[in-house]
Amino acid sequence: MILGGDATLVDVAFAACTVLERAGETAVLCGGSAAAYYVPDLYQSLDIDFVVEVGAAPHVVDRALATLGYARVAEGHYRHDTLPYALAFPIGPLAIGREYVTAWRTERRDDLLLHVYTPTDVVRDRFLHYWAWGDRTALDVALAVARARDDVDLEAFAAWTTRELAADPSYDASRIGRFLRALGRGGGLGWEPSDL
């Protein structure tokens, strides 16, 4: 498979996921690169993060990605000579906070495929970066995805935040309310201004 010099992040993600799938490995696009997939006009990234479902042998990943012109430059990191996108394979399992991710979307483009976080999981993942570390860019991305997609399940999001708070009360609950209010939601999801 040949990637042209004008390949986008999404093009590279589809190609990488496909060659890994053909090599017997399930890789799921996650993190900011999954957000860039859903809202490419609002968020860009040069890093493409995949978690391999069962932890692939490095030589399998090396061989598969070499067919795209990618070579390993460090453990779990791959670069292309002419494309700006780096591929990274953070150590799994696939999880957001304390919850494992066991389902994702599989998108198809002709004979290519892409396993990717659902829009709801992208919102949870980016919000967690804001919630835990105060990353305002991650908050903006979570809001962008939630506003752009009508398939984000905010009830599931609110239930997840409740479970995370129960496990770690050091999280700032007011950030949940601010996020939901920024979306024009809150009262119907169990978060009221009095909770802040």
Is 25 inside a domain boundary? Answer: yes
Ramachandran region, residue 69 (left: φ > 0; alpha: ψ -120 to 50; beta: rest): left
16 and 109 part of one domain: yes
76 and 15 part of one domain: yes
37 and 105 part of one domain: yes
* Whether the Cβ atoms of residue 15 and residue 27 lie closer than 8 Å to each other: no
Query: What total of structural domains would you count in the chain?
Result: 2
110 and 125 part of one domain: no
77 and 137 part of one domain: no
70 and 83 part of one domain: yes
pLDDT at 48: 95
64 and 13 part of one domain: yes
37 and 53 part of one domain: yes
Identify the domain boundary among 116, 142, 164: 116
Is 31 inside a domain boundary? Answer: yes
127 and 59 part of one domain: no
Is 88 inside a domain boundary? Answer: yes
127 and 176 part of one domain: yes
Is 2 inside a domain boundary? Answer: no
Is 4 inside a domain boundary? Answer: no
Tokens of 189: 């999801």
pLDDT in tens, 41-61: 888 888 999 998 665 677 889
Separation of alpha carbons 120 and 130, rounded Å:
16
pLDDT at 34: 96
**What are the residue ranges in the chain where pLDDT is below 70?**
53-56, 185-196
pLDDT in tens, 64-90: 999 999 999 988 899 999 999 999 998
CATH number at residue 53: 3.30.460
pLDDT at 12: 96
The domain in which residue 83 lies consists of 9-116
* Whether the Cβ atoms of residue 25 and residue 1 lie closer than 8 Å to each other: no
Separation of alpha carbons 189 and 156, rounded Å:
9
pLDDT at 185: 65
Query: pTM of this prediction?
Result: 0.88
153 and 127 part of one domain: yes
Is 184 inside a domain boundary? Answer: yes
Is 125 inside a domain boundary? Answer: yes
Identify the domain boundary among 116, 145, 168: 116
Identify the domain boundary among 116, 137, 171: 116
103 and 148 part of one domain: no
